[in-house]
Amino acid sequence: MSTTEETIDIEVDDERIAGTFVAPGTLIPGVLFVHGWGGSRSQYLARARELAALGCVCLAFDLRGHAGTQAQQARVSRESNLRDLVAAYERLVAHPEVDPQAICVVGSSYGGYLAAILTTLKPVKWLALRAPALYLDAGWELPKLQLHQEQDLKTYRRSVVPPKDNRALRAFQQFEGDVLLIESENDRIIPHAVITSYQEAARQVKSLTLRCLAGADHGLSDEADQRAYTQVLVGWFKEMLLGARRGTVQPATADGAPPERPLPTKKAVSAAAAAQPSA
């Protein structure tokens, strides 16, 4: 299926952030890509093209403090970036080819954290999180960079966090759609305990697909890991679309292969969380 691309501006707080629509020529679901801290929309355009070819309108955009607004990075907060995400979401659902009841949000790291919170503000049908981050609720409107100085995030992320103590996990606990949750085996930024926190918060989801990218680090610095992530994401979304068209969604297994390594038991999870080295 051929696709079209359109570069756009998204207005938020009397400013503009850049985005790129990647779309086919038919009415289809919408997919919103949220990059991590230090990333940009350019990292997700190839994946957006693959999903657009399945019959989706995709929007990848730059959070403020990144790409063309890099100069703002020292002062942007989680609140301002969440407003960026809401603005991008509203621009996506306003697209004439998008079904507003069939929205998928794909977030990585910081973007995954924001994506989880978005589900309490806007309707989301599918949620794909790769190495989603966790931050303490305190200091919500502080510059995001300042959090790493004032909060002991390394220690915080090495323990399983209950939903009542974290805004993103509370949102995840309430989410009733389908979820893809991806971990990197050698992630020193987002340790296994964070993934466990999200997993244990997913109490009302329609389906939960857990995948672990064997040997991968947080940033997927190896090209093979980038390809593996794309394969898992596209495979999962194909199953979600197929299930939606049939009127039912079965828990996905991505490309049909088993996880790259067996998912740990709860006992193993607790032991792994206690033994995690600091990032």
Q: For the domain that residue 200 is a member of, what is the CATH number?
A: 3.40.50.1820
Q: Is the pLDDT of residue 121 over 50?
A: yes
pLDDT tens digits, one per residue of 94-104: 998 899 999 99
Contact 63, 85 (CB under 8 A): yes
Residue 5: per-residue pLDDT: 85
Percent of the chain residues topping a pLDDT of 90: 76
Residue 148: per-residue pLDDT: 87
Strand-by-strand arrangement of the 98-108 sheet: 4-12, 15-23, 57-61, 28-34, 98-108, 126-130, 178-184, 207-213
Query: Which of 249, 276, 265 shows the shortest CA–CA distance to 153?
Result: 276
Percent of the chain residues topping a pLDDT of 70: 85
Q: Which domain holds residue 143?
A: 4-275
Interval 80-93 mean pLDDT: 97
pLDDT tens digits, one per residue of 205-236: 999 999 999 999 999 999 999 999 999 999 99
Tell me the pTM: 0.80
Interval 154-173 mean pLDDT: 97
Any idea of the CA torsion for 101, 53, 41, 223, to the nearest 10 degrees?
130
Residue 278: per-residue pLDDT: 34
Per-chain mean pLDDT for the chain:
87
Q: Is the pLDDT of residue 254 over 50?
A: no
Residue 242: per-residue pLDDT: 87
Q: How long, in residues, is the chain?
A: 279
Q: Is the pLDDT of residue 269 over 90?
A: no
Residue 276: per-residue pLDDT: 37
- pLDDT bracket for residue 28 (50, 70, 90): confident
Residue 26: per-residue pLDDT: 58
pLDDT tens digits, one per residue of 173-193: 999 999 999 999 999 999 999
- pLDDT bracket for residue 247 (50, 70, 90): low
The tally of domains found in the chain comes to 1
Q: Is the pLDDT of residue 250 over 50?
A: no
Find the range with the poorest average confidence among 4-13, 54-63, 171-180: 4-13
